[in-house]
Chains A and B, each alone.
Chain A
Amino acid sequence: MSEVHLTINGLQVTAQSGQTILEAARAAGIDIPTLCHHPMLSNHGACRMCLVEVKGMRTLQTACTCPVAEGMEVQTETDEINECRKFSLELLFSERNHYCMFCQVSGDCELQALAYRYGLDHWRYPRPYEKMAVDASDPYIIMEPNRCILCTRCIRACAEIVANHTLGLRERGSATMVMADLDVPLGQSSCVECGVCLQVCPTGALIDARSAYGGHAEEVTHTQTTCMQCSVGCQLDVISRSTRILRIHGVWNTEPGGGLLCVDGRFRPLYETRERIAQPLVRDHGKLVPAGWTEALAIVAKKLKSGRVLGLASGATSNEALVAFAGLMAQVGGKAGQTMPALPTLGFGQPAAVQDILATDYIIVAGANPLVYQKVVGYLIRRAADRGTPVALIDVPRGGLEASAVLSVSGQYAATVTEQAAQAQAPLIIYSVGLKPGVARALKPLAHARWLALAPGRNSLGARAAGLAPLEGHDLTSSRFDVLFFLLGEGSEEGGVMPRLDGAFKIVQTAYRSPLAEEADVVLPAPIWAERSGHVTNLEGKTLPLNPVVPMPDGVRDEAEVLDTLRTMM
């Protein structure tokens, strides 16, 4: 890349060859309005908002697509340019329905903001009153085609960011419309509800079903925190007003996911249906009844001192809570571990980061199912495949990745994959709990490979670091325990190893009612993801921060604080 010198509005600007005028201007702090352009997406050049004047060129140029050249003289705000921009806006407003006062995203709309900026107080052309059906078939995303300006940001996002290719355009000319698959309702399409289309749509054409009519963007708080729903640890921009969470966006250009989220991180936490536990519960005459913290902790402390204790952590909690839990268990001389299965080791190669998926020349997925359990990793693998990176699957269940794979084999044929990958400069092995020792051996000739181990569950690496190793079945059955202490966080007990519950005194520290909580003798309430401070450790082994978005309900206390209190009572 070489340096290119140009002037923008008379200012000397140095840019890199290959950059567009828009990129060069933004890097120099000069604002050019855009609508179809999005910094995370390929350039499209459809909306004409970014028109600029380039000396010597016959017509105005679209800054988002026009590459810089040595000696260029660019003007971004002449009368002619502003007239053209206003006219483009007028045309956009003349088509479909842009009556902002009835729009769910009024105040949070790029089209509306530009109309204010260019003083578009009326439009001259009658709009054709064709009414298009609103598609509310998806639980999270409403498609309102009457407000679509056909910028194709959503289509590019679906193809280029999540690599799902659900969205496309149908027809042409004035009949052109955004649609899913074979023009089916979104809720019945191949959409994986990652919501990235929603995040990039500049208008009210894609609406977040939950926060519709949530009010103006200026009145909200943005909090960056880490998603706790799986071990990837994507960065969330949580948008809230006072104590209500409106919606969740991904944070562009952050590791690990780059700003992409999945349905488990973006939508499901806001649609939680489990009943929250907001004060300690103790069993009294066979029933769980509310109790004060002092009473509940006194009972727990007494029990912990009175017998053999087994502590089980689910990993759906912070590193701080896990460390405090391990400390408490050590202090009472109990056995403690996590309920998540053990993650095998490969025995060779160097660790990689999630973003390395996009920077490798051969991907092997072994004994893992990322499209189900670590979805953003799965999407990045598909994105790499779209760019031409060969993807080979070993012991990967059917369910999506095979459509991106060049090869899919069961473990006994792993050597075939090794052969194929041998030519690669920087092969990447992505594996999880399903990696068989035989497969690891068969891959061993790829000594120069890097690996990404997909930790099961949520914060199982944080639990590991706190000294809570995976418990095996025989750990639980080899001896009887008098007291069982579950650090469940906001998880559910399914999926992990579980001891027999009969006989022992059961303490459960959890955020939600669940079958396990119902069997407990004492239930201690815990915070959920949006209320936590502290850290988690993601599958790359990075420590990522948790920042509270909303306060804990009265009666809930942070687990680490409760566990430390218990330690002082021992």
Chain B
Amino acid sequence: MPLDFTKPTPPSDDKRWKLVQATMRRWGNHHDALIETLHTVQESFGYLDNDALTYVAAALRVPLSRAYGVATFYHFFRLKPAGKHTCVVCTGTACYIKGADQILESIRQAYDVKPGETTADGQISVLTARCLGACGLAAAVVYDGEVAGKQDAASTLERLGKWVEQ
């Protein structure tokens, strides 16, 4: 074999890497396929860890700094596993005026998590979104995919409390 030019190997023999490789192949392993590939990683594994970013960067010949920049630029990508439940607080203008920051602060005080973080016990991930388009319901919070309107600190903590009790 004259070529000792080797392709990077996936971080593990987990079958899901086949899906990731298929995405990269579909785009000709071109560096433009970075976002598509990260999408596939997140769909398959739930989040992007450093091993995944390192592998994808090497396979597409993209600098690590670029892979990390893209992964942190888009709120869609997550670098840590999601909690069992997710709570997305809308911080659009209307919700902000109706106290979204107080909701976030009350969550921080009660559970010691900031937006983008997951509680230490892996139960709840807290996220923010810039306007859900539900301004009439401000302040809006999405609990496990279900939009709830007219929320405040007390009602939010009550909902989260139910998750933790279960």
Could you tell me which residues of chain A, from 372 to 421, have a CB within 8 Å of some CB in chain B? 402-403, 405-410, 413, 416
Contact B68 A410 (CB under 8 A): no
User: What are 12 A-B residue pairs whose CB atoms fall within 8 Å in the complex?
Assistant: A165-B66, A166-B63, A166-B65, A168-B63, A168-B66, A168-B69, A169-B73, A172-B73, A179-B65, A181-B65, A408-B4, A409-B3
Residues of B within 8 A of A190 (CB): 64
Could you tell me which residues of chain B, from 53 to 71, have a CB within 8 Å of some CB in chain A? 53-54, 61, 63-69
Q: Is B102 an interface residue (CB 8 A)?
A: no
Contact B73 A171 (CB under 8 A): yes
What separation, in Å, do the CA atoms of A562 and B76 have in the docked complex? 71
Q: Which of B5, B54, B66, B69 contacts A407 (CB 8 A)?
A: B5
Chain B nearest CB: distance from A209 CB in Å?
22
Contact B72 A159 (CB under 8 A): no
Q: Is A182 an interface residue (CB 8 A)?
A: yes
Q: Is A26 an interface residue (CB 8 A)?
A: no
Closest to A159 in B: B63
Residues of A within 8 A of B2 (CB): 409-410, 413, 416
Residues of A within 8 A of B53 (CB): 182
Q: Is B50 an interface residue (CB 8 A)?
A: yes
Q: Which of A167, A170, A416 contacts B72 (CB 8 A)?
A: A170
Closest to A155 in B: B65
Closest to A177 in B: B72
Closest to B58 in A: A403
Contact B65 A167 (CB under 8 A): yes
Contact B65 A165 (CB under 8 A): yes
- Since A170-B69, A182-B53 are in contact, a sample of 14 more A-B pairs with Cβ atoms closer than 8 Å, ordered by chain A residue number, is A165-B64, A166-B65, A168-B63, A169-B73, A172-B72, A172-B73, A179-B65, A180-B65, A181-B64, A183-B68, A406-B5, A407-B3, A410-B2, A416-B2
Chain A nearest CB: distance from B107 CB in Å?
19
How many interface residues does chain B have, given as a range? Answer: 10 to 19
As a 0/1 sequence over residues 149 to 170 of chain A, the CB contacts with chain B under 8 angstroms (1 = contact) are 0000001000100000111111
> Which among A166, A168, A171, A413 has the highest number of chain B CB atoms within 10 Å?
A168
Residues of B within 8 A of A183 (CB): 68, 72
What separation, in Å, do the CA atoms of A170 and B65 have in the docked complex? 8
What separation, in Å, do the CA atoms of A168 and B71 have in the docked complex? 12
Closest to A168 in B: B65
What separation, in Å, do the CA atoms of A432 and B2 have in the docked complex? 21
Chain A nearest CB: distance from B158 CB in Å?
30
What separation, in Å, do the CA atoms of A405 and B4 have in the docked complex? 11
Q: Which of B4, B50, B63, B65 contacts A409 (CB 8 A)?
A: B4
Contact A408 B63 (CB under 8 A): no
Closest to B67 in A: A182
What separation, in Å, do the CA atoms of A416 and B4 have in the docked complex? 13
With A170-B68, A170-B69, A172-B73 as contacts: A403 and B4 at CB distance below 8 Å: no
Secondary structure dominating the interface of A = mixed
Contact B61 A168 (CB under 8 A): no
Contact A402 B65 (CB under 8 A): no
What separation, in Å, do the CA atoms of A172 and B54 have in the docked complex? 21
Residues of B within 8 A of A416 (CB): 2
Chain B nearest CB: distance from A418 CB in Å?
12
Closest to A405 in B: B5
What separation, in Å, do the CA atoms of A413 and B64 have in the docked complex? 32
Chain B nearest CB: distance from A404 CB in Å?
9
What separation, in Å, do the CA atoms of A175 and B134 have in the docked complex? 26
Could you tell me which residues of chain A, from 119 to 166, have a CB within 8 Å of some CB in chain B? 155, 159, 165-166
What separation, in Å, do the CA atoms of A413 and B1 have in the docked complex? 9
Residues of A within 8 A of B64 (CB): 165, 181-182, 190
> Which among B54, B63, B64, B65 has the highest number of chain A CB atoms within 10 Å?
B65
Chain B nearest CB: distance from A429 CB in Å?
18
Closest to A165 in B: B63
Could you tell me which residues of chain B, from 24 to 77, have a CB within 8 Å of some CB in chain A? 50, 53-54, 61, 63-69, 72-73
Residues of B within 8 A of A172 (CB): 72-73
Chain A nearest CB: distance from B163 CB in Å?
28
Chain B nearest CB: distance from A112 CB in Å?
28
Residues of B within 8 A of A159 (CB): 63
Contact A182 B4 (CB under 8 A): no
Residues of A within 8 A of B5 (CB): 402, 405-408
Chain B nearest CB: distance from A502 CB in Å?
43
Residues of A within 8 A of B63 (CB): 159, 165-166, 168
What separation, in Å, do the CA atoms of A154 and B3 have in the docked complex? 35
Chain A nearest CB: distance from B71 CB in Å?
9
What separation, in Å, do the CA atoms of A416 and B69 have in the docked complex? 38
Contact A182 B3 (CB under 8 A): no
